[in-house]
Structures are given as structure tokens and as C-alpha cells.
Amino acid sequence: MPVTPLPLRGRISSGRGARIEYGADYNPEQWPREVWVRDVALMREAGVTIATVGVFSWALLQPAADVWDLDWLGDVLDLLHDGGVAVDLATATASPPPWLTTAHPEVLPVDELGRTLWPGGRQHWRPTSPVFRRHALELVERLARRFGDHPALVAWHVNNELGCHNAHDYSDDAAAAFRVWLRERHGSIAELNAAWGTAFWSQSYGRWAEILPPRLAGTPANPTQQLDFARFSSDALREHLRAERDLLRAITPDVPVTTNFMVMTESSRMDYASWAGEVDIVSNDHYVRPGRHEHDELSFSANLTGGLAGGRPWWLMEHSTSAVNWQEVNRAKRPGELVRDVLTHVAHGADAVCFFQWRQSTAGAERFHSAMVPHAGPDSAVFREVAALGATLDGLAPVAGSHRKRAPVAVLFDWDSWWATSQEYLPSSRLEYRRHAVEWCTAFTDVGVRVDVLPAGADLTGHALVVAPMLHVMDTARARRLTDHVEGGGHLVATYFSGIVDANAHVHLGGYPGALRDLLGIRIEEFTPLLDGESVELAACDGAGTDWTGTVWTDRIDVVDAEVLAHYRTGANAGRAAVTRRAVPGGGSAAWVSTQLDAVALAALVRLLLPPAAASELPTQARGRVELVVRSGDGVEFWFLVNRTTDPVDVELAGDVLHGVRDGELVRLGPRGGAVLRRAL
């Protein structure tokens, strides 16, 4: 059940007024004490206001089972407080110390092949291990009782990147916990057999003890078993989050609790829509994967994080000042990228901007990961840039506390559908759920329209157009919500492979797209996915688009009660409908897009599908080049303009400039530049 956010702003501001918090993970245990004093002085120089401390310090806080040393951490908190830096204190449970895994190797996770994942890295613990849970909570209680009243403490940071490396554990502990979870979900063995369709391949179970996680088998495991295990694994991590959170709240009820999500690229194993209500502050880590559309992915991730937070402010807990260390090629950030990336996160609601980490390590696996203070020291371009960024964020203090303004368009995102479309034995293994959603979000940005990325279960009120990209898992309740949206005058766009299965991954009978078939006014008897390198040409029926290209997928559509907006010109379905739209009484409509359109075609189609209530708010010359995000406060709006190009862009807009350059009526955006305008309502 969602929790009521605590009054964070009053605690963290400490009478200094609202502001965008700025800082980093701080790991002083890696450095001699004389460096700590220099660090705090440099933090003040860089404008740092908050530091996350203690993330990976369990082995130093508890060097042996019956030995504790918390004094050094107290010294760090004292030093930071004296320097005016607030502390987000980690519970330090992310990586168990060697003495614990030596004494209790049963806490170590096991992969699907039955191999133990040994110490030497991080996150070597089972989310369902009662032994690990007991030791972790003992550490949490010690920290809470020792530092709960410390004046530097403004938030608790539970664990760290829960599930980054240990989300799917196939151990005996996991098997036992999985059976308990299944009993709670399905009730009886008979109901589980029905849900899993175990009549297929002689999989019918007679006792709960017969059920295992989907360990390595000779063929892909039962698809519903896989989907339930994905759900269970996310829930098991969430239960650990709850256990630490509940203990912290019992001891320090006035200190807000957070944990860092990983809404980025292909981090798929945690259903953050079900986690967001468990924390007082939604926090996220984001790292860019270089590529042609890297900023679009960053914007999508920040947007989705804002959606998880319900439009309220959230924290960017980690990102990088420059290169990371874990990609095949780790590229340094180019001029302008750091500020542009930060502005994008703040635009979508980030009220704290933090890096991993403060000082670049000299040893360990992340020694080549960039930091606020790089190996070159403070006399470096990176440190000068982060210090300048601190001043920029200080100037954006009026934005703090404002909420993201609802956009006219919503793109829905669903972890169940992501998991289900990633399984084997589908009509095509070329489905890329997240990329498909990103491309739809980008298409609206290309035509200058604001869009919110929302969890699939979010409230749709106020969104003129809702897009459901590959919303594959569709129970009757979800289909009813979309139908209600359309029948209430709203507009819906669904894309290929949507509405096909129910919550148990059972196919809806009667023809595709299953649960959405009647709403869309179409019927599909057979999928016709495309081979690698194969494409089809489409033409809009109004002649506006004659060179559209589709890849990955096509459908053999029978039109029952819908208008054909575009048809296939080539391929197995030549002459048949490719894009349809059904109008319903009350002014709403439901459209179907049956292929993966290229960017030019998708932008053209978006223009065709946009209702008048979703018109662009940007001047014509800025559309496609500038992303607009709006945050709103008391009687004022903050318009964030982000240049998506490497060329200068001039935008004619009124408003007071909080960040950027104004020249008369024009706001000038440099390459990869940005601006923030304050506009009275």
C-alpha cells in the first residue's frame, strides 16, 4: 500500500530554504583521515549540500561477528555536519563482510545452473536468506540507534541498487520462499496448475514441495512459471526493502527512507511500479549508454522515474561526471553533456542531483569510474565543471519542491509485459519492449509535444492521448480502464503484440489483439513477424506518407469496425491495413499500429494521431530540436528547454530566465545546451 511521504523539505533544508540538493556518494574509508578535512573544504567549494555515506562499509563497521566500530563513521558525520553538508546515511547492507559469508555460506546466491556466486564482488547475498536478513537487520538497528539523532542525518538509504546483481536467486531458500509466494497468489495446487497450464508437457503438480524456481532445463521453462518467478523475485527484494524500512521507521520515525532504483537501459528485473509506494523519496541511479539516441533514453528514464514518483519531486542518487568503467568502451562526456543531462533530470522532477562518487578511487573495481574529484585532483576540467554545476543548481532553488505538470500525452510502461515479451518461444525473438516504448516517447518529443511516461496502472485522468506500446499482458481490469478512457472521450494508441495474454500469460481466444479486439474494431488471425533485414513499405491513406518503413513485425488485419489510416504497400500483407483507428461515441478513439515504424514515419504518424488537446506548446522552429518539460508551483511554471542537437537553437518564448541566455525575445540554447524559464500563471 502506498505510504504518505514525510515532510522531507523541512528536515533537509534546516532553515536554509528550499533548494536543489547536490552531492555524491562519499567513501572516506578509502582515504586517510587527513584527506577528509580537505574533502569537506572542496565540497563547500563545489556547492555540495548532501553526501551519501556508508554504502559499502559493513566490513569496517562490523569487523567480526561480535566486534563493532561505529566511531569512525560518527567522526565522518560530525565533519560533514560542521561543513554544512547533510548526510543520506546508507544501511551498509549491500555487501556482506567476509566473516559472515565464511561462517554462513548458505547466504550466498545460486544461479540457474546451480552454481554458487562467491564473495569477491558485491551483492553476494540471497534476498530470501533468513540468516542474512537477521544479520542485516542487526546492523541496521545499530546504525539507527547510534546515528538516528545526529544533526547531519536527513535520510536513510536502504541497501544499494537492490537486485543489481542478485535479483534472481535459484537457491533452496528461494525455492521455499517461492512456494510460499505461490500459495499466497494462487491459493491451491489446483489453481496453480490452472494458472500455469501444467496440462501441457505433463507438468501437473501434486504437492507444493514439487515446485522449483525455473532452473536450467532442457527447454525453456513454463512461461507462466517464468513470469511468476520474475514477479516473486522482485517482491522478495521489495520485502527486504520493507524489512529495513520498517525497522528504521520504528526507531527514527521522523527520518525519511529511500533506496536507489535503477530506471535505465535494460535494468528489467525490479518492478519499480510496485516499489515506489514503499519509500518516502523515490530515488534513481542513471548512467548513459553512448549511442545515437542516448539522450532520448536518458529523458525516458528520468520521465519514467517522475511517473513512478507520481509527478512529485524525486532524487537522482547516482550518475557520472564523465566516463563510467563497466561498458566495453567508456567514453568521457562531451562539452555540454553534463549540464544538459542534469537539467533533463531536474526537469522531470529531480530535487537532488548526486554522482557516484565524490573522490575517484585508486583501487578496486571502480577505480576508472569518474568522480567529482578525479584522479587529476581539483585542478582539473571535471572538478571545475562540477563546481560550476553546483552554482547552476543553486540558481535553480526556486524550482525545488515544484511538481511536474501533467502532459497531454501519456506513454504506459509495464514490467509484466517487459518480462513476458523477453521470454523464449514467442512469434519473434526480436521484440525489444523498452526500446519500443522509448521510440514512441521520442516521437512525441520530435513533434514538440510533452509526454509523461507512466506505470501501466497509473491514473489516466487529464491525458488526452494514451499510448500503450506492446502492452502484451492485459487482464480484464486493465482492458476496462483503457476502454473507460476511450469511452470517456480520450484517445488510445496500442501497438503490435498488445492485449494478447492475461495475467497468467494465457492467450485471449477469439483472435488477436485479444482483450483489445472489440475496442479497436479489428481482428487478427495470425501474426506475420519479419525476418532480420526484412522491411515493408507503408502508405498513409491520405497521401501524407508514402515512404514509411516498418520492421520487426506486421499483422494480417481484418478490419471489422475501424478506419484505415495506413496500409502496407509491400510484403506478405500488401494492400492490407497497417494502421487503423476506431472512433467511439463521445469523441474518443482507439488506434492500432501493427509494425515498428522508423523515426520519420513514427513522427508523421504521431502528427496524424494527435488530438487538438495535445498540440505542441513550442514555437515551430524549436520542434524536433528542443525538448520541453514543465514543472509547476504556486502560481508559477518552470519551463525547461533542452537542446537535443549539437547546433545552436533560438527559441522565442517569454519568461524570466533562471538558467540560460536571453537575447531580446529569443532564448539562445548552445549545442547540447539548456535553459530554464520562470513563467507566471
pLDDT at 546: 67
161 is annotated as an active-site residue: yes
Direct distance between the N- and C-terminal alpha carbons of the chain, in angstroms, rounded to an integer: 35
- Rounded to 5°, the CA angle 617-620-622 comes to 85
CA–CA gap between residue 188 and residue 364 (Å, rounded): 49
pLDDT at 541: 86
- Looking at 21, 278, 297, 318, which residue is catalytic? 318
Which uninterrupted H or E stretch holds 605? helix 599-609
pLDDT at 266: 85
What CA–CA distances, in Å, run from 99 to 93, 150, 287?
Answer: 14, 29, 33
318 is annotated as an active-site residue: yes
- Looking at 21, 161, 278, 627, which residue is catalytic? 161
Structure confidence by residue, pLDDT tens digits, 117-158: 999 999 999 999 999 999 999 999 999 999 999 999 999 999
10-residue stretch averages of pLDDT, the chain, 681 residues long: 37 60 98 97 98 98 98 98 98 98 98 96 97 98 98 98 97 98 98 98 98 96 98 98 98 98 95 98 96 92 98 98 95 94 98 98 97 98 97 97 97 98 97 97 97 97 98 96 98 98 98 98 97 96 79 98 96 97 96 96 95 95 96 96 96 96 96 96 89
Structure confidence by residue, pLDDT tens digits, 315-352: 999 999 999 999 999 999 999 999 999 999 999 999 99
CA–CA gap between residue 305 and residue 79 (Å, rounded): 33
Exposed/middle/buried for residue 278 (C-beta within 10 Å: 0-12, 13-18, 19+):
buried
CA nearest neighbour of 283 among 234, 357, 347, 354: 354
pLDDT at 547: 82
pLDDT at 228: 98
pLDDT at 330: 95
Single pTM value for the model: 0.96
CA–CA gap between residue 351 and residue 353 (Å, rounded): 7
Question: Bridge-partner residues for 501, per DSSP?
Answer: 473, 507
- Rounded to 5°, the CA angle 39-43-46 comes to 135
pLDDT at 293: 86
Instruction: Please say whether the beta carbons of 323 and 333 come within 8 A.
Output: yes
Residue matched to cell numbers 506513454: 411
For residue 570 the three cell numbers come to: 509491400
Strand order in the sheet with 548-551: 451-455, 409-413, 465-468, 491-495, 589-593, 577-583, 563-568, 536-540, 548-551, 596-597
Using DSSP bridges, classify how beta strands 636-643 and 649-652 pair: parallel, antiparallel or unpaired. Answer: unpaired
